[in-house]
């Protein structure tokens, strides 16, 4: 397999993973409420909201790593084509 199809395949897989992580995070955050429960009768709601917050906080580092990898892959793709154009103009 040559470099170009492999390069684009890796870039596409990273894009799909990033989109999937954003969709998963938005589905988690959809159920999250921005309210404070002051009464003890709402402990079950407070526990549910804290579980959602824990899940969202676990996704954040993975999302940052995936964005970084996608940025590196994008720079690599752009750099490959810049070098290719430069070599063709020589």
- Specify if 22 maps to a domain: yes
| Domain with 67 in it | 3-32+43-89
Which candidate, 71, 62, 53, 51, places its Cα nearest to that of 22? 62
Token pair for 16: 């799909």
pLDDT mean over 27-49 = 71
In a domain, 38, yes or no: no
The pTM for the full model equals 0.78
pLDDT at 52: 80
Using the predicted structure, report yes or no on whether residue 49 has a pLDDT greater than 90. no
Residue 33: is its pLDDT beyond 70?
Answer: no
Instruction: Read off the pLDDT band of 11 (50, 70, 90).
Output: very high
Q: What is the pLDDT of residue 56?
A: 85
Average pLDDT value for residue range 62-90 = 95
Q: Can you tell me the distance from the alpha carbon of 68 to that of 72, in angstroms, rounded to the nearest whole number?
A: 6
Q: Look at the chain and count its residues.
A: 90
- Domain assignment present for residue 73? The answer is yes
Rounded to whole angstroms, the Cα distance separating 80 from 23 reads 30
Domain count, the chain: 1
């Amino acid at each position: 397999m040559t470099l170009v199809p492999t390069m684009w395949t890796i870039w596409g897989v990273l894009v799909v993973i990033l989109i999937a992580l954003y969709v998963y995070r938005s589905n988690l955050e959809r159920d999250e409420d921005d309210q404070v429960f002051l009464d003890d009768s709402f402990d079950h709601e407070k526990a549910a909201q804290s579980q959602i917050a824990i899940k969202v906080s676990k996704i954040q580092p993975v999302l940052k790593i995936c964005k970084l990898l996608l940025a590196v892959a994008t720079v690599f793709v752009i750099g490959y084509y810049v070098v290719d154009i430069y070599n063709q103009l020589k």
